[in-house]
C-alpha cells in the first residue's frame, strides 16, 4: 500500500498525524456503527429475521439505511422486485461517493477497487475523503481502516449481538422497538439535508409518499415520493436555495469532494512511498 500525491490539497499534514486523526475519528464512527448495528439486529429479530438472514444482510448488502428499510418492506409483505427498486434508489447516492473517490484511487489495481467498492458507505466515504484531503495524498490503508475497522466489523458484530439477544424480548411494541425504523429513516434524511433544495425534496417526497400510499399502496407511495421529491427540490431557484453547499458550486464540490466536477483535475501519479509530496 502506498500513498500517492494528488496535488489537490493545500493542507497536507504528516502521514503519521493524518493516520492518528483518522483512527481517532474512526473510533467515533465505530461506536456509532456498533450502536446502530445492534439496534438493526434487534429490529430484524423482532421482525422475524433469523440470525443467518440478518447477518447476510449486514455482510452481503452492507447498507445500513437500506437494511433498516428492508425490515419494514419485508414486514409489509412487499415483493422483492419492489424492495430491489427501493434499495437501488436509496443507495443511488453512493454513485456520488465513488465518483468523488475515483481520482484519488486512479492508481489502485482494479481488483482492489472492486473490493473497496463494497465497503463504500456514508461513513467510510466521509472518513476517507477527509483523510485523503488532509494528507494531500491517497492512502489505501486509510481506506481499509475506514471501511473495515470503523464500519464493517463493528456493524456486523453488533448485528450479531442484536439479532441474538433480540429473541428474548416478548413484546417489542412495549419497548418501542417498532418506532426505531421510521425514526432512523427520518434521522438519516436529516443528515443529508444541507439546504432548501434537499428540504423541499424531502418534504415533497414525504407528502407524495403518504398521498399515493393512501390512494394506491405503501410501496408505490414510497417509490413515487422518492422519484418525484427530487424534481421539486430542483425547482428551488439558486437565489433562494440557501444551501450551506449550493449545488453546482465549488462549495458543493467540496462537500461531495468531487474534484473533477468543479475543480482542477487531480493527477495522482506521484508515488512517494509512504509520505505525501509537498
Partner 1 sequence: MSTELVGLAVVMFLVTYPSRALGLLAPGIERLPRRVLDYLQLVGPAVLTAIAAVSVMVVADPLGPRHFAIGLEWLAVAACIAIVAWRRNLLLGLLAAVLITVVGRALGLPSIVP
- On whether the CB atoms of residues 23 and 145 are closer than 8 A, the answer is yes
For residue 185, state whether it binds partner 1 (rule: CB under 8 A): yes
- Closest listed residue to residue 103, CA positions, set 22, 8, 3, 2: 8
Q: How big is the CA angle at 178 (ends 174 and 182), to the nearest 5 degrees?
A: 145
Determine which residue in the list 17, 27, 88, 238 makes contact with partner 1, applying CB under 8 A: 88
- On whether the CB atoms of residues 135 and 15 are closer than 8 A, the answer is yes
Determine which residue in the list 45, 152, 198, 266 makes contact with partner 1, applying CB under 8 A: 198
What is the Cβ-side half-sphere exposure of residue 141, based on CA atoms within 13 angstroms? 13
Strand bridging mode 3-5 / 270-271: antiparallel
Determine which residue in the list 136, 205, 266, 276 makes contact with partner 1, applying CB under 8 A: 205
Between CA 100 and CA 92 the distance in angstroms is 14
Of 14 and 114, the one with the shorter C-beta distance to partner 1 is 114
Of 19-27, 59-67, 130-138, 157-165, the window that binds partner 1 (rule: CB under 8 A) is 59-67
Site residues for partner 1, 115-134, by CB under 8 A, read: 116-118, 120
**What is the number of other CB atoms lying within 10 angstroms of the CB of residue 21?**
15
CB of 16 to partner 1, least distance (A): 27
Determine which residue in the list 27, 148, 214, 267 makes contact with partner 1, applying CB under 8 A: 214
For residue 137, state whether it binds partner 1 (rule: CB under 8 A): no
Between CA 62 and CA 29 the distance in angstroms is 15
For residue 257, state whether it binds partner 1 (rule: CB under 8 A): no
For residue 141, state whether it binds partner 1 (rule: CB under 8 A): no
Of 16-24, 131-139, 148-156, 203-211, the window that binds partner 1 (rule: CB under 8 A) is 203-211
Q: Which residues of 87-104 are buried (b: 16+ CB within 10 A; e: fewer)?
A: bebbeeeeeebeebbbbb
Between CA 143 and CA 150 the distance in angstroms is 10
For residue 22, state whether it binds partner 1 (rule: CB under 8 A): no
CB of 134 to partner 1, least distance (A): 20
Of 5-13, 35-43, 128-136, 156-164, the window that binds partner 1 (rule: CB under 8 A) is 35-43
For residue 149, state whether it binds partner 1 (rule: CB under 8 A): no
For residue 260, state whether it binds partner 1 (rule: CB under 8 A): yes
Amino acid at each position: 500500500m502506498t500513498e500517492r500525491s494528488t496535488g489537490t490539497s493545500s493542507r497536507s499534514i504528516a502521514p503519521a498525524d493524518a493516520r492518528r486523526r483518522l483512527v481517532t475519528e474512526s473510533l467515533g464512527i465505530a461506536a456509532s456503527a456498533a450502536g446502530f448495528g445492534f439496534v438493526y439486529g434487534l429490529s430484524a429479530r423482532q421482525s422475524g429475521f433469523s440470525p443467518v438472514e440478518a447477518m447476510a444482510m449486514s455482510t452481503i448488502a452492507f447498507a445500513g439505511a437500506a437494511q433498516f428499510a428492508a425490515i419494514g418492506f419485508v414486514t409489509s409483505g412487499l415483493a422483492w422486485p419492489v424492495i430491489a427498486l427501493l434499495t437501488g434508489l436509496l443507495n443511488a447516492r453512493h454513485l456520488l461517493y465513488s465518483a468523488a473517490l475515483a481520482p484519488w484511487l486512479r492508481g489502485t489495481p482494479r481488483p482492489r477497487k472492486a473490493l473497496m467498492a463494497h465497503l463504500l458507505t456514508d461513513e467510510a466515504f466521509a472518513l476517507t475523503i477527509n483523510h485523503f484531503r488532509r494528507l494531500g495524498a491517497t492512502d489505501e490503508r486509510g481506506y481499509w481502516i475506514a471501511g473495515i475497522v470503523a464500519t464493517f466489523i463493528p456493524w456486523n458484530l453488533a448485528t450479531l449481538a442484536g439479532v441474538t439477544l433480540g429473541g428474548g424480548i416478548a413484546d417489542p411494541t412495549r419497548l418501542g422497538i417498532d418506532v426505531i425504523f421510521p425514526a432512523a429513516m427520518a434521522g438519516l434524511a436529516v443528515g443529508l439535508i444541507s439546504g432548501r433544495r434537499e428540504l423541499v425534496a424531502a418534504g415533497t417526497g414525504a407528502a407524495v409518499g403518504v398521498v399515493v400510499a393512501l390512494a394506491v399502496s405503501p410501496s408505490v407511495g414510497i417509490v413515487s415520493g422518492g422519484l418525484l421529491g427530487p424534481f421539486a427540490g430542483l425547482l428551488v431557484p439558486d437565489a433562494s436555495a440557501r444551501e450551506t453547499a449550493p449545488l453546482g458550486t465549488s462549495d458543493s464540490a467540496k462537500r461531495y469532494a468531487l474534484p473533477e466536477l468543479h475543480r482542477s483535475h487531480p493527477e495522482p501519479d506521484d508515488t512517494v512511498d509512504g509520505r505525501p509530496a509537498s
